[in-house]
Amino acid sequence: MVAGIGTCPLASIARKDLQAIGRTNDAVLYGGRAWYTVRTEDARVEEIIERLPSCSSRDHGTLFYDLFKRYGGDFYKIDPLLFSPAEVFINNAASGRTFRAGAVAPELIRASLLVP
């Protein structure tokens, strides 16, 4: 790993703490993007790139607040693969190639951040 940077939408204010936690997580899970620069063999990047974004999780596609309720408030029952940005880019400085996996989910961001 040489460098990394990420972005995500700012979560809107929520009436309840648990809703706020849900919105901040949704901002990363469904709107976050991460860019990494590495120096390695392309084959190593190809081995992992598809497992990095949140869409690799069985829980992807459900708002965090709803997941938390589904699992009875037990944070540790949520699939750990979900806790990743929506989209990941890896630039390999050794080869000059850039790899991409995942995608931002604007409909889920709207559903999470633009509700009363």
Which pTM was predicted?
Answer: 0.91
Q: Give the max Cα distance, the chain.
A: 48
So what's the pLDDT on residue 74? 93
* Residues pairing with 102 in the sheet: 87
Q: Is 63 exposed, middle or buried (0-12, 13-18, 19+ CB in 10 A)?
A: buried
Residue 35: both structure tokens together: 């860019």
So what's the pLDDT on residue 116? 67
So what's the pLDDT on residue 8? 97
* Residues pairing with 41 in the sheet: none
In CATH, the architecture of 3-113 is 2-Layer Sandwich (3.30)
Residue 33: DSSP 8-state: E
- List Cα–Cα distances, 21 to 17, 42, 48, 71, 91, in angstroms: 6, 37, 28, 15, 31
Residues of the chain with pLDDT under 50: none
So what's the pLDDT on residue 18? 92
